Chain A
Amino acid sequence: MVATLAHQKQGRLRAALEHASGDKRFKILEVHMKKHMFRQDALIEVLHKAQELFGYLEDDLLLFVAFKLKLPPSRVYGVATFYHFFTLKPQGTHTCVVCMGTACYVKGADKILAAVEEDIKIKPGETTPDNGVSLLTARCIGACGIAPAVVYDGKVTPRQTPPAALEQIRNWRAK
């Protein structure tokens, strides 16, 4: 990881920048940083954009951001790992986010989660071996009026039950 790369940072950084030069998404990211005038306090905004472009934050990407914002890699890595929203691992083709806010929990979100875990044999935060489905939990998506809510591929779905969640996942896997 970035922190352990410190002693060979020089070589690593060159490799990361070389990697960046061949990928258009890095260009888009750099334009975004320029919009923020390469301000160091825009780090979280930049990481949001980076994750939007790449899907997750890989090491080279973090090194690239650190270099461009003139921040130590440790600081960028520290911020990227502090916030739950950022992920350092690639996500599956589909994501299933079970809201575990209090209202959803009281209405049985734990049972939905357990059923999904049982069905696809992974824990929250993991992705199935075939890279098909990532299972995540959310702390509260503010959809308490329609609890329990599950977010399938970014779409908030109201009043879910374990069978409904399993059906959705089977539909994904059937494709």
Chain B
Amino acid sequence: MIYNDLLQIKAKELAGRKKIVLRCCMAAGCMSSGAQDVKDQLDKAVAEAGLQDQVEVRRVGCMKLCCEGPLVQADPKNSLYIKVNAQNAPSIVAVIKGGHSDVAQTDPDAAFFKKQLFIVLANSGVIDPERIEDYIAVDGYKALHEVLSEMAPKDVVAAMVQSGLRGRGGAGFPTGIKWGTVAKSPGTKKYVICNADEGDPGAFMDRSVLESDPHSVLEGMAIAAYAIGADQGFIYVRAEYPLAISRLQVAIKQAKQMGLLGAGILESPFHFNVDLRIGAGAFVCGEETALMASVEGKRGTPRPRPPFPAESGLWGFPTLINNVETFANVPPIYRNGAQWFAGIGTEKSKGTKVFALAGKIKNTGLIEVPMGTPMRVIVEEMGGGAPNGGQIKAVQTGGPSGGCIPAQHLDTPVDYESLGKLGSIMGSGGMIVMDDQTNMVEIARFFMDFCMDESCGKCIPCRAGTAQMYNMLDKIIARKATAADLAKLEELCDMVKSTSLCGLGQTAPNPTLSTLRFFRGEYEALLRADSSSAPSKGNNKPQNAQAGA
């Protein structure tokens, strides 16, 4: 396989295209609502109408508006049908012949779609994720060819630094600097790991990327491997994502057959293999050192850093770990240039970010917006606000490591720094909207329950601290706690935050701390009057005759 062969595949693919395409969303969300049936029936309806020569029914990845699935997008009018069922197929096909269809549609020019800017999700909902030819037809693997034939590894790293891309896994470490560190680390062998252990509840961006465009992740990993001098990669993906696993397996097989992975990629001296590693349900394995232990087949417990994985990672060799979305950003950066990427977003946060919008909101699904987009635009304009006339109370970002951003701060732009200032984090991109029905103390307890259960048990602050904090929150909700208990809870939050070994423990108190910061009243309303000691926060107690006395 040389580059000309790629161009030939592209030309052949484009020449063989049928005039009209019906795109069926076949990502996990729509699949569970019966998308497979819809596609089968569409195929049948096309055959019955005798339109096989003109119409292609294509399986595509996520079309973003998950709440209205199964979705079908149809040429020539670019209609987007929603909540399609198998019986609707003939009428959708009839429209192509000039007929009329009663199937519900949504406006593809609505704010939900128009305000998005696609880099990572550009191919999602457009190409067939199980056909490498489809990916090649949209200039797939072109960036890999350019990197291998025209750039030295150090230039590849320099371009990544220039692009300003930061890790999309949550912490936002500059990707170029990470690549540079691994590239400089001495080692006879190096590894690239793609972290697809999306354990953060309420986040499904990585799943959608893997299900919709797996080749972009593979291409990104190959470019990274060339830059740092690695010849082996692993994708660590959750066992809870069976569809993502099977699409990845198909993609790896196809790329190997075409010589785009394996030995002598694109007839260069560069070798790179990718293997899948299936997780087994442990949230802590999203932490990089725990993830590496799990790849080695051990219990996924973190270890102290330094040494960082960039110096001593998998089996002691220098290892680069990036998130799925980070790798998916790589091919577009080299295809369009680092300058182009650096021109998008804010000063310190470049590019776009994919968010999984869910919870008490009208339009749930995936959105990709430039960094710095105000949260109000995302939640109110794109998301359509709370359903059934509810009021948005808060937006939770960052999952069990993040915090709740209250409605009065909705004008905050989403970038790493602004969210950090509000006591939350960007996280991997889960965005859960809560309305006035949601009890914030119960949300804090929900996340603490999660962290308590998922704590690996290696260090005491996290193992014992999360359990104690859970008990205190439980006591508050049972209306048995006093102001002294609340003070103790805050003290414990601080202690666990400062003394835990890994990110799980260090961030476990965040949901509690942030709800305490913005919704303290809800906690205090649940407190019991303390009769024994004189509490310092006496006048905060509700309905207490002694208050202020």
Contacts and interface: CB of A to CB of B under 8 A. Distances in A.
A167 B299 CA distance: 39
Contact of A146 (B66, B207, B277, B282): B66
A45 B278 contact: yes
Nearest to B29: A145
A25 B446 CA distance: 40
A93 interface: no
B282 A84 contact: yes
A145 B277 CA distance: 26
B29 A103 contact: no
Interface stretch (A2-10, A12-20, A35-43, A111-119): A35-43
A78 to B, nearest CB: 5
B403 to A, nearest CB: 13
Given A102-B202, A144-B364, A158 B299 contact: no
B200 A83 contact: no
B297 interface: yes
A103 B358 contact: yes
Interface residues of A, number: 39
Contacts of B432: 102-103, 106, 144
Interface residues on B, range: 35 or more
B33 A85 contact: no
B359 A103 contact: yes
B542 to A, nearest CB: 26
Interface in B429-460: 430, 432, 434, 438, 443, 446-447, 450, 454, 456
Interface string A122-151: 000000000000000011111111110100
B27 to A, nearest CB: 9
Q: Name which of A100, A140, A155 has the most chain B CB atoms within 10 A of its CB.
A: A140
B280 interface: yes
B297 A42 contact: yes
A144 B199 contact: no
A107 interface: yes
A11 B432 CA distance: 55
A158 B294 contact: no
Contact of B204 (A41, A105, A144, A157): A144
B358 A44 contact: no
A40 B299 CA distance: 13
Contact of A143 (B29, B300, B438): B29
A70 to B, nearest CB: 12
Given A142-B28, A156-B28, A102 B399 contact: yes
Interface string B289-302: 00000111111100
Contacts of A157: 32
A47 interface: yes
B281 interface: yes
B297 A140 contact: no
B266 interface: no
A147 B359 CA distance: 8
Contacts of A32: none
Interface in B1-51: 28-29, 31-33
B297 A145 contact: no
B190 interface: no
Q: Name which of A43, A78, A142 has the most chain B CB atoms within 10 A of its CB.
A: A142
B112 interface: no
Given A102-B201, A139-B201, A146-B67, A83 B280 contact: yes
B239 interface: yes
B512 interface: no
A59 to B, nearest CB: 19
Contacts of B399: 102
B200 A140 contact: yes
B437 to A, nearest CB: 9
Contacts of A138: 240
A162 B232 CA distance: 47
B201 A84 contact: no
A164 interface: no
A145 B280 contact: no
Nearest to A97: B240
Contact of B202 (A41, A144, A149): A144
A79 interface: yes
Nearest to A105: B446
Nearest to B434: A106
Interface of B: 28-29, 31-33, 66-67, 69, 198-204, 207, 239-241, 277-283, 294-300, 356, 358-360, 364-366, 396, 399, 430, 432, 434, 438, 443, 446-447, 450, 454, 456
Interface of A: 39-45, 47-48, 75, 78-79, 82-86, 100-103, 105-107, 138-147, 149, 155-158
Given A79-B299, A82-B300, A146-B33, 20 more contacts: A44-B280, A45-B277, A45-B278, A82-B282, A82-B299, A85-B279, A102-B447, A105-B201, A106-B438, A139-B199, A140-B200, A140-B202, A140-B203, A144-B66, A145-B67, A145-B358, A145-B364, A145-B366, A146-B67, A146-B69
24 contacts: A41-B295, A42-B297, A44-B280, A45-B297, A82-B456, A83-B280, A102-B201, A102-B399, A103-B201, A103-B359, A105-B446, A106-B360, A139-B199, A139-B201, A139-B281, A142-B28, A144-B66, A145-B67, A145-B358, A146-B364, A147-B364, A149-B32, A156-B32, A157-B32
